[in-house]
Amino acid sequence: MIRTVESAPHVSAPVLAAYRYCEAVTGQQARNFAYGIRLLPTAKRRAMSALYAFSRRVDDIGDGALTDDVKAARLEDTRALLTRIREGAVTQDDTDPVAVALAHAAGRFPIPLGGLDELIDGVLMDVRGETYETWEDLKVYCRCVAGAIGRLSLGVFGTEPGARGAERAPEYADTLGLALQLTNILRDVREDAEGGRVYLPADDLAKFGCSAGFGGPTPPEGSDFAGLVHFEVRRARALFAEGYRLLPLLDRRSGACVAAMAGIYRRLLDRIERDPAAVLRGRVSLPGREKAYVAVRGLSGLDARHVTRKTVRRRV
């Protein structure tokens, strides 16, 4: 069982300022993520913001305009900072607010910081321009950049005492991360193509006549782009179905947070499925009122109860 500490020790002014910085970064840069974590108690919300701010720094290095060799060097510098955090060498008066906040969060919650090393490994794959022949190949990348985030988040959430099957919580968190990342890949297929990146497996692209890529607002001539999207949507739905088994293992507010974030992406997947070509015309997103509905649904526990009923039926 994964436990968290629920007491509320005093937080010093420098640490509080560091958390506020991380929360500002999260609110400005990750609306879907920020929407979910607002459902958490203060200590968990702050810890999740620290994780996001560090992860965002890693992503920004990979997505920036620096040369590849400079990016790789910056990523290794960030890995060295992570080592300092892991070793307890970052003090509350350090000049880096993200490091201060993450160090405090890691001291309070059992966060598996090695997941951030995996994230750095995944971004290095981007820097090297790696492509993926099969889904099995792509899963390695997705586990680094998203599955690891699921497992890191679980370190903050913890599992409910006595929850049946809690030992599989990291596996479910990892799988849910894969579901979110595959949804991201579908949503950003044109944006990634314009940046010279192709994530969808080469054998899937070939199967549906899409090997020419997605450089414009219309599918490649003669391709079955809708067939490709529907194929990947089915794969993502299967991942969501497995990953959602995490929900009954979490406390109510942590489960609500996960259900809200995952619910937003599931609804994005629904929109993409209804109009596959929309991802070539622009970024598919949800209006605020729909995100609010998803959050309320998550807070009510509807998704967790639905998963629990399905799991019980499988056992009978």
Cβ atoms of 268 and 294 closer than 8 Å:
no
The values of phi and psi at residue 214, to 5°, are: -135, 65
At residue 4, the pLDDT reads 41
The rounded distance, in Å, linking the Cα atoms of 11 and 92 is 10
Cβ atoms of 49 and 16 closer than 8 Å:
no
Cβ atoms of 163 and 138 closer than 8 Å:
no
Cβ atoms of 239 and 171 closer than 8 Å:
no
CA atoms within 13 A on the CB side of 251: 19
Cβ atoms of 50 and 22 closer than 8 Å:
yes
Give the domain ranges of the chain: 13-110, 131-315
Q: Which residue has the tokens 């070539």?
A: 280
Chain centroid to Cα 117, Å, comes to: 15
Q: Which CATH class is domain 131-315?
A: mainly alpha
CA dist 153 to 49, 172, 176, Å?
Answer: 10, 12, 11
Orientation angle between helical segments 114-127 and 68-86, nearest 10 degrees: 180
Question: Same CATH topology for 13-110 and 131-315?
Answer: yes
Cβ atoms of 118 and 158 closer than 8 Å:
no
Cβ atoms of 55 and 119 closer than 8 Å:
yes
At residue 288, the pLDDT reads 75
CA dist 162 to 35, 196, 249, Å?
Answer: 29, 48, 9
At residue 295, the pLDDT reads 65
Q: What is the CA radius of gyration of the chain?
A: 20
**Tens digits of residue pLDDT in 31-49:** 667 767 888 999 999 999 9
* pLDDT tens, N- to C-terminus, the chain (316 residues): 444 434 446 789 999 999 999 999 998 887 667 767 888 999 999 999 999 999 999 999 999 999 999 999 999 999 999 999 999 999 999 999 999 999 999 999 999 999 999 999 999 999 999 999 999 999 999 999 999 999 999 999 999 998 999 999 999 999 999 999 999 999 999 999 988 899 999 999 999 999 998 888 889 889 999 999 999 999 999 999 999 999 999 998 899 889 988 988 999 999 999 999 999 998 888 777 777 777 667 666 555 445 444 543 444 3
Helix (H) or strand (E) holding 230: helix 225-243
Fold of 13-110: Farnesyl Diphosphate Synthase (1.10.600)
Q: Which residue has the tokens 């015309």?
A: 281
